[in-house]
Structure formats: structure tokens, C-alpha cells
A and B are shown apart, each in its own frame.
Chain A
Amino acid sequence: MSTRPVWEERPSLPGRLTKGLTLSLIALIVLFPIYIVVLTSLSPADAVNEAGGLVVVPDGFSLAAYRELFSGGVVTQSVLVSLGVTAVGTVVSLVCTVLAAYGLSRPGSMLHRPLLFMILLTFLFTPGMIPSYLLVKSLGLIDSYWSLILPGAINAFNLVVMRAFFMNIPEEVPDSARIDGASEFRILTRIVLPMSKGVIAVIGLFYAVGYWNAFFNAILYLNDNAKWPLQLVMRQYVQQGQSLTLSSAVDTSSAGALPPNLAIQMAIVVLALLPVLFVYPFVQRHFTKGVIIGAVKG
């Protein structure tokens, strides 16, 4: 694949140059905003003042912004909330999705058609914001972290992708175990799951990123802003530029009279970026292998 087939003509030099430049430009457009945000968050206050805002050229190094964020204010709290919701939510979602995907993956098993139809229907018709809110409210989940997890715990798309992957496993593999008397649960945990690490990683990433980025559910269901996850804090403090009244970290200046500190703002953005940047490279190589096939076939 890496070598050019003999029948293909060599591209012209201008053609290659254009292609190279276009690709570099695309990569630059994606990376540049991330670069200046990270750089500004790591710059000392002088450098930020001197640049009149965002720092483009590195000028000194300081962790002051991060130290302030983690001195136990509202940001520390919200990072913990986000991490907790992400961890618990991903486990709940993944377990339910794997179980259901496997339960529906055997051709001709009882009721699998109506159940699959019921799951797929959630694709076509979403219940609507207001009835969902009323339901969560009547279940007493307002201001509970479960309201961030349970309503969106099952994603029909992820379930279908995973099911398609399980169905690609040659059937004689689970069949041989069945003949040996293994229970379905045992087949799933001992045989099917070890064969499906790639797809589990990718779907797990999808769920985890969904929880980490969750904004809508939080704004709908959490009234108590002491419980806010990081995304909401980021919105209020960074996007809207309001001071964080609850924060012991930022509040050290005279009662929110100063405009929010840019380095601290950017440090919050970096905190929101970091887990994604961290996990992404490990999972990324499975994308092409695992998910697309399911997406296209499923």
C-alpha cells in the first residue's frame, strides 16, 4: 500500500507541493488554538500582560495558574465531579451495552428482533427535552449525579456497532464452548470479550468522552452549582468571563472586582482538554479497525 502501483503515474511537483501544503495547513488549523491555550496557561503573569492577552511566542514558564486551580476551590471540586461521573458512567454504560450487544448477537435467538427494533427506534424518535426533564424530576434525580449518567447511559449507535462486531466473531467459537457446557455469561467474559478489546476500547472512549463533555444534562438537571462538572465551570468562568463566587482559589482578589485571570482561564481549558488528549492516542489506532466496519455494516 505504501508503494505506488506501477500503473500509476508519478504526481507532478506542483501537485505534490499543493497536497503537502494543504495537509500542513489543515493540521495547523487544528493544532494552533490548542497550542496557544496550553502556552498561555503555562506562561507567567508578566508574559500574559506583555502580550496583551494570549501568548503566541513562549516567554517564561510558570505553573502558578494550575497551583491556584488546585488549591481546593470550585475547580478542584468540579474536576473531581467530572472524573467521578466519567468513571462510574463509563462502567455502567459499557457493562449494559456489552451485555445487551452480546445478548442480541446470536442469530435467531428469542425476541431479538423486537428488542433490536425497540433499541433502534430510539434513534429515530427522541423523547423530547421536557418529558425527559419531568421524568428525571419525578424520579427524584434532580441534583443527583445519577441524572448525568442514567438518561443517556445507553447509546443505540454504540450498541449496534458492538453487536455487529460480536456477530463477526465466527459462530463456532461460542458454539464450541456451549457444547462444552459453558454458560452464556462465561462465554462472554472468557471468550468473546478477550477477542473484542479494540471495539471495547473505542466504545469505552466514546462513552467516556460523552460523560466528560456532558453539558446538556448538567445544565438541565443540576441546579446546585456546587455540584457542577468542569464543563459548566468552564462555561461560566471562561466563556462568559464571570468570576467564580464559590471559589476560594480565584476569590483571593477583592470580591470578583478584577476580570478573570487569563492564564487561569486557559488552565481550566487545558484541564478539560487533558484527559481527551491523554487517552486518545491509545484508543485511536483501533478506530479504523474496530468501529468503521461496524458502522458501515451495522
Chain B
Amino acid sequence: MPENRTDSVPAGDLTSPAGPGAAARTAPPETPEAPETSAPAGSPGSVAPAAAPRTGDKTGAGRTGDGKTGGGRARAGGASRIGGGAPGRRARPRPLRQRLLRDWQLLLMTVPAVGLLAVFHYIPMLGNVIAFQDYSPHVGITDSPWIGLTNFQWLLTDQSFWDATLNTLTITAFQLVFYFPIPIFLAILLDSVMSPRIRLFVQSIVYMPHFFSWVLVVTLFQQILGGAGLISQMLRNNGYDGIDIMTNPDTFLLLVTAESVWKDAGWGTIIFLAALAAISPNLYEAAAVDGANRWRRMWHITLPGLRPVIVLLLILRLGDALNVGFEQFFLQRDAVGREAAEVLDTFIFWRTLVTGEWSYGAAAGLVKGVVGLVLILVANKVAHRFGEQGIYKRS
């Protein structure tokens, strides 16, 4: 196999519009990117070229298995990039027929996924037109009468819609304060554990609840905190009255946040741990040599290193402000009561599928979707304003 590869490299060069010199020139800065699959997000932009050779050497020496191929990749990487297709502006657009001849297999492969998304995402998006109709399932979309914005007018004067919106936003705000920082602290804590065995052990434990269903999580909480749960059971065995946290609307906010933390905070550390691993140890060493203690290093190196990821997740969460999840609230709505536990998704569900007001529910869903889209775009814009990368790059 290696012999084959070295043969194919000159072949690639022959077809390339730019000479091999160009390839060689572009190769070095890319070297750390290509083999550095274990370090996400690369190194911070400005220091990249200076740090590049060193990082490259280190990974090459560290990974004995990949070391063999790693050496050749530096040269071959640049060359094949040119032969292999048309990246960036160096590419000359080929005629359509030629591209189709080359890529038809790749296109064919995307058909099942694109087809499924088209049918189950894009057609329902069009189906949102029933929000402007007085839709009746017996007549169908084509024959239902159009009533313009009437549904939306109703919606805006509907107290229960505003209650649900308020609940949703309250839960988002509460979780932003009491849930969001926990994975960051947990990640820093885990990262500070020296022994890899202990760290992996704790990691695999805290990741696990992410894979449990909400029914399971709510059931587990009910078994501990509910009226017939462990805490009540112990209180009663000792002569006190039992308490039922699962049906108390006043503590519902705390309860759902605790459930979310139990289920997902551990999993949430993954992305922060990756960002922590990408911070160069040299920075810590230099700071330590300059006399910065543990806390100062955390403040001046660790937290700034995490900042892009924190901002990104904050944007995603803010853009998702109207989405607090359906299942968790659906499952507890009956026990706690509508006043505390009705969120937008459960509102839509009950108004439509239970009472049959299709158009009304679709209108509520459309409002939620559009507002959510606007929120995420705005949040991203704000991030760009502050010089962060955001979800998508400015282009």
C-alpha cells in the first residue's frame, strides 16, 4: 500500500494546475492540522505557525503507530489536495457534464438521506400553511378555507399561550444560571485529575445518564423524591410526614433543573474537556515559571482558553430559548399541574392533538419556530460583534 501511494503522488502532480512548488509551500502550515486529529480546534490562530513544527514533531514521536504514515503525509497532503478535486479558488470550474460523470456516484449516495430529510423535514415545513387556514382533516389542506392571520390574532390574546411562553423562558433563564456553569466546573475538575484511570472511571460514570430516556430519569427521581419514594419512606419510617417533591409546583423549577443536571451535565463536559486538552501546556509552564499560582493559571489561561466554546454553547442555548424539551415536561405536567409545567411544546401538543385545533397548534408551532430561528441568528450576530467565531463563520 505505501508503494502505491508514492506512485500516485506524482500522478496527482501532473494533473495539478499549480506546480509542485506551490504544493510544497502550502504543506508545512497544514502539517499540524492533518496529523493532529487528537487535538480539536487547532491551536489559537496567531501562534499556529510558530508552534507548528514542534506540535508536529511531538505527535509524530508520541504515536508510534501513526508515525510511519505521518512522515509521508506532509508531502503527499499538499499534492493530493490539488489532484483530488477543486478546493478553494485554485480550482477551475469544470464543465457540468464532466463533473456529473465524476461525481454521480457520490450524489447517488446522498439520495436516501436527502430524500428522508426532504420528506420528513421540508414537506412538513410547507405543511405549516395550515396555520393560515381553518384546517379540517376531513377536507384536507387543499380545500380548507383560508383565514389569513386569524389564528395568530387568537394566539396573541390567548392567556394560556403566554403562560406557556413565560414558563418556557423562566425555565431557560433558570437553567442558564444553575445548569450551564456546572459542566464547565466539572470539566475543569476532571481535567485536574492526574491519574488517567480515575479520570476515565469518573468520566464514564458521569456520561452514562445522558443515554437514559426521560421516562427513566423522571421515574428514578420519582423513586427517590416522590410521595412513595425513598426520602418519604425514610421520613415515615422515622415518624415524620412524607414529602412529595414531584407534585409540588413551587419547587418544580428546581426539580427539572436537578433532573437536567443529573442527566446531561456529565455529558456536557465532553466539549469542554476537548477544549481544555487543546490548551497548550507551554502556556501553563510559562505562567508557573513566572510565579502564577494554580488559581491565577486557571483564571488567566484555562478560562480564556474555554471562552470560545462557552460563547458558542451560550449562543446555542439562547437561540434555543424556546426549546426546553418536550418529554421531560410532558411526563410531569399532570403531576405538577399546568401552571408550573406547561411549556410551549406541551401547549401545542395538548391544544392540537387532544382538542383537535389543528390550525391553532400549527400557528403556535410556527411562531415558536420563527422566533427560535430569529433568536439564533441574532445571538450569532452578537457573538460576531464580540469577535467570537459563533456557530458559522462569517463569509
Contacts and interface: CB of A to CB of B under 8 A. Distances in A.
User: Chain B interface secondary structure, helix, strand, loop or mixed?
Assistant: helix
B134 to A, nearest CB: 14
A197 interface: no
B379 to A, nearest CB: 12
Contacts of A88: none
Given A110-B107, A185-B105, A216-B327, A239 B222 contact: yes
B85 A106 contact: yes
Interface residues of A, number: 111
B167 interface: no
Contacts of A232: 215
Given A96-B116, A170-B76, A128 B365 contact: yes
B223 A33 contact: yes
A239 B130 contact: no
A43 interface: no
A256 interface: no
B382 interface: no
B251 interface: no
Nearest to B40: A296
A106 B106 CA distance: 8
Contact of A4 (B122, B194, B236, B327): B194
Interface in A208-257: 209, 212-213, 215-216, 219-220, 231-232, 234-235, 238-240
Contacts of B149: none
Contacts of A238: 219
A213 B326 CA distance: 14
Interface in B204-253: 204-209, 211-216, 218-224, 228-230, 233, 236-237
A54 B229 contact: yes
Contact of A100 (B37, B110, B118, B262): B110
A103 B115 CA distance: 14
A2 B11 contact: no
B113 A107 contact: no
B271 interface: yes
A119 B362 CA distance: 23
How many of chain B's residues touch chain A, expressed as a range?
Answer: 35 or more
A4 B192 CA distance: 11
Interface stretch (A22-30, A60-68, A72-80): A22-30
Contact of B361 (A119, A125, A126, A129): A129
B147 interface: no
Contacts of A215: 213-215, 327
Given A52-B233, A122-B117, A176-B5, A239 B218 contact: yes
Contacts of B237: 52
B73 interface: yes
A87 interface: no
- The residue in B84, B121, B141 that gathers the most chain A C-beta atoms within 10 A of its C-beta is B121
Contacts of A122: 117, 121
B71 to A, nearest CB: 12
B40 A293 contact: yes
A95 interface: yes
B211 A133 contact: no
Would you list the 4 A-B pairs with minimal beta carbon distance, nearest first?
A131-B127, A213-B213, A103-B109, A100-B113
Given A52-B237, A175-B80, A293-B274, 13 more contacts: A7-B284, A106-B85, A108-B87, A130-B362, A132-B120, A132-B127, A150-B116, A179-B8, A179-B11, A272-B216, A273-B216, A276-B211, A296-B41
